[in-house]
């Protein structure tokens, strides 16, 4: 029976408001390798935005949420992440594919309570039982608050496995799934697909798009981590910047951050201290959770990546090693000074000098953090200096090309008063490299020695020449300049559409009378068609990705026909209709 979901939908032009469906996983991930972790099944929620042609769930595309501490993105917020600005103005990738007959399914990981009876309660459904104006564990004695957006990747992956099985059971027809994993969503989807293949489960997925995902790890500059932690917890009750404590506890100490960051502040702490760094631990060091995660995700398939899908990557970091820029538009280099300033009156008669630098150049030891607090101008309360050393095989990761994290994402809820305001005003960077390019491309690494500044040279995906690097992806999009993390642009949207929409959309009847090929694709200012027979009075039309017709002509197609065109760069649909109403459709890309 065809499922119309009419009771769930309010139909609007180019938009269908769906209903959020909450579900508990029927699978429990094995987290036994993580000290302090508890095994239990997770809670997820999803919405289905059906296509705008038939309203039938038959071509699902799953968009998996990524790292989102506190679940700050609603499902609609995730849909809005598909917005981009192109030559046609403001557009949305979800709207475009839905107009082509695909359905968008958004998977979100909410915050929830695991109650004393082991049941799960979405925080949106929770009650302030103790009337203290805060909804937390105190409202539910014996409960644990789980931050789904920053929870263990494995637990969230099991929710995706459940959703994949649900969609494959509910969809109409036999169209295989497309899964898009932005950021940590790329690792969640990678783990889920690996898990299903390892357990001989058919995920019925034809295409997996990894979108700026940290396959070799993510980065938050260690100097930032040290300063946030020390300023939040190390100054003492009267001076601690309490607003930073949430950043440390909710973000840096989250299970996901411990799994992903290639250099984590907790690994540098002196034994027995929550704030002081061990001066002997100079080299980059990850949290112990990271090694456990890498073992878990890589042990499920021979390569550590799905084997039964077409695997492609879109990244936001430069593919040619272009440095990213400081606030003053200078190149960011290893050891770059982010802050070097003195802040007055951070407390009664108290001043603070703060210096923060990015990790240094290869084989170099240098200071990355300094906090000097003085009372009455001459009594030193704190004088903290932290050094770091780059390994022998790479400059420090902080200045590498990569998808850029807006520092405002750390500080949006911290206010601008006092030391926080002074700190933000003194920053020489407003962004940092969060997902290094070599990580998003998952370049093959020997002995875990990642050169974050490696000169990426993958040739072209369909090339037959030498490939100087190795990647698990068969196709990719890499910009020349560094972009904001998981930012959609007209160029990467064109790439995504070229992968999502099948190469040939013609009907079988057409293929029985002739064979048509495009001589070269992408094209520039002309389209050349090759045919094994002559076709009289063929109607040739081209539409853009918004559905607008931008070319139409009726002519005879010879064995080789060249059609002059003057089109903006982008992806288009070519349609050829014969006088017998046979149709041939395929996509073309204009450079």
Hunting for tokens 């930032």 — which residue is that?
A: 224
| 3-state SS assignment for residue 68 | coil
Residue 144 lies in a domain: yes
How is residue 149 annotated by DSSP? G
| Integer Cα distance of 15 and 55 in angstroms | 11
Check: CB of residue 211 under 8 Å from CB of residue 182.
yes
Residue 497 lies in a domain: no
Edge-first strand listing for the sheet containing 337-347: 337-347, 350-357, 365-375, 379-389
At residue 503, the pLDDT reads 63
At residue 415, the pLDDT reads 67
| Integer Cα distance of 272 and 317 in angstroms | 38
Encode burial over 404-439: b for 16+ CB neighbours within 10 A, e otherwise.
Answer: bbebeebbeebeeeebbebbbeeebbebbbbbbbbb
| Interstrand relation of 431-436 and 205-211 (parallel, antiparallel or unpaired) | unpaired
pLDDT means per 10 residues, the chain with 591 residues, are 32 50 97 96 97 94 96 92 89 93 97 96 95 94 96 98 98 97 98 98 98 98 96 88 91 98 98 96 98 98 97 96 96 96 82 94 96 89 95 96 89 70 88 98 92 86 60 93 96 90 60 70 85 85 82 90 88 83 79 76
Q: Which residues contact 248 (CB under 8 A, 6 or more apart)?
A: 228, 229, 232, 233
Tokens of 449: 């020695």
**Segments forming the whole domain that contains residue 547:** 504-590
- Helical (H) or strand (E) element with 294: helix 288-298
| Integer Cα distance of 311 and 437 in angstroms | 17
CATH number for the domain spanning 202: value is 3.40.50
At residue 160, the pLDDT reads 98
Q: What is the 3-state secondary structure (H, E, C) of 430-441?
A: CEEEEEEHHHHC
* In 177-287, alpha helices (H): 184-198, 222-233, 243-247, 255-260
Check: CB of residue 195 under 8 Å from CB of residue 157.
yes
Check: CB of residue 500 under 8 Å from CB of residue 102.
yes
Q: Is 282 left (phi over 0), alpha (psi -120 to 50) or beta?
A: alpha
Residue 425 lies in a domain: no
How is residue 325 annotated by DSSP? B
Chosen domain end from 211, 240, 266: 211
Chosen domain end from 163, 184, 211: 211
Report pTM. 0.87
Residue 561 lies in a domain: yes
Tokens of 410: 């750390």
At residue 572, the pLDDT reads 86
Dihedral sign for Cα 489, 430, 415, 232, please. Answer: positive
Chosen domain end from 157, 190, 211: 211
What is the residue-wise DSSP string for 74-99?
A: -HHHHHHTTEEEETTEEEEHHHHHHH
Cα distance between the two ends of the chain: 44
At residue 411, the pLDDT reads 67
What is the residue-wise DSSP string for 505-520?
A: ---HHHHHH--EEESS
| 3-state SS assignment for residue 410 | helix
Residue 366 lies in a domain: no
Residue 342 lies in a domain: no
Q: Count up the domains in the chain and report the number.
A: 2
Number of CB atoms found within 10 A of residue 249's CB: 15
CATH number for the domain spanning 543: value is 2.60.40.1930
Strand partners, 12: 15
| Integer Cα distance of 28 and 22 in angstroms | 17
Kindly provide the residue ranges of all beta strands, DSSP E only, lying in 201-309, ordered along the sequence: 205-211
| Integer Cα distance of 180 and 62 in angstroms | 6
Residue 184 lies in a domain: yes
How is residue 63 annotated by DSSP? E
Hunting for tokens 């990557």 — which residue is that?
A: 313
| Integer Cα distance of 443 and 455 in angstroms | 11
Residue 75 lies in a domain: yes
């Amino acid at each position: 029976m065809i499922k119309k979901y009419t009771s769930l939908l309010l139909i609007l032009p180019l938009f269908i408001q769906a209903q959020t469906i909450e579900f508990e996983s029927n699978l429990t991930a094995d987290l036994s390798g993580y000290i302090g972790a508890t095994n239990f099944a997770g809670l997820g929620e999803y919405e289905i935005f059906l296509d705008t042609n038939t309203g039938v769930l038959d071509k699902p595309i799953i968009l998996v949420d990524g790292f989102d501490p506190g679940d700050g993105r609603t499902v609609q917020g995730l849909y809005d992440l598909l917005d981009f600005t192109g030559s046609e103005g403001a557009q949305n990738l979800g709207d475009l594919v839905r107009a082509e007959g695909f359905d968008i399914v958004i998977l979100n990981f909410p915050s929830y309570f695991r109650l004393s009876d082991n049941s799960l309660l979405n925080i949106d459904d929770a009650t302030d039982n103790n009337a203290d104006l805060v909804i937390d564990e105190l409202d539910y004695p014996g409960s644990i608050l789980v931050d789904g957006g920053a929870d263990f990747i494995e637990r969230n992956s099991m929710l995706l496995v459940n959703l994949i099985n649900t969609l494959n059971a509910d969809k109409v027809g036999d169209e295989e799934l497309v899964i898009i994993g932005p950021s940590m969503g790329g690792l969640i989807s990678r783990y889920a697909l690996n898990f299903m293949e390892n357990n001989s489960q058919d995920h019925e997925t034809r295409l997996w798009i990894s979108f700026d995902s940290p396959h070799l790890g993510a980065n938050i500059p260690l100097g930032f981590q040290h300063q946030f932690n020390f300023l939040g917890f190390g100054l003492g009750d009267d001076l601690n910047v309490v607003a930073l404590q949430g950043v440390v506890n909710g973000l840096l100490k989250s299970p996901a951050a411990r799994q992903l960051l290639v250099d984590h502040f907790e690994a540098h702490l002196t034994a027995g201290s929550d704030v002081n760094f061990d001066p002997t631990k100079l080299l980059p060091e990850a949290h112990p959770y990271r090694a456990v995660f890498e073992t878990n995700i890589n042990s499920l398939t021979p390569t550590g990546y799905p084997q039964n899908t077409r695997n492609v990557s879109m990244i936001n970091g430069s593919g040619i090693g272009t440095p990213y820029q400081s606030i003053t538009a200078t190149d960011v280099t290893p050891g770059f000074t982010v802050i070097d300033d003195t802040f007055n009156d951070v407390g009664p008669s108290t001043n603070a000098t703060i210096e923060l630098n990015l990790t240094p150049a290869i084989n170099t030891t240098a200071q990355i953090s300094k906090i000097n607090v003085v009372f009455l101008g001459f009594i030193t309360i704190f004088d903290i200096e932290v050094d770091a050393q780059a390994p022998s095989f790479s400059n420090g990761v902080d200045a590498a090309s990569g998808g850029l994290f807006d520092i405002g994402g750390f500080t949006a809820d911290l206010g601008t008063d006092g030391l926080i305001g002074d700190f933000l005003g003194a920053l020489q960077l407003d962004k940092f490299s969060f997902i290094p390019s070599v990580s998003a491309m998952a370049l093959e690494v020997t002995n875990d020695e990642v050169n974050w500044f490696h000169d990426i040279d993958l040739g072209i995906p369909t090339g037959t020449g030498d490939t100087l690097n190795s990647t698990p992806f068969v196709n990719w999009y890499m910009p020349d300049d560094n972009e904001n993390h998981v930012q959609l642009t007209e160029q990467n949207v064109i790439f995504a559409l070229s992968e999502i929409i099948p190469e040939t959309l013609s009907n079988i009847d057409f293929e029985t009378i002739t064979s048509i090929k495009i001589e070269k694709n992408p094209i520039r200012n002309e389209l050349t068609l090759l045919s094994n027979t002559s076709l009289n009075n063929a109607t040739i039309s081209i539409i853009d990705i918004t559905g607008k017709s931008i070319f139409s002509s009726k002519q005879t197609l010879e064995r080789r026909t060249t059609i002059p065109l003057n089109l903006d760069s982008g992806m288009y649909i070519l349609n050829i209709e014969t006088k017998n109403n046979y149709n041939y459709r395929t996509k073309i890309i204009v450079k």
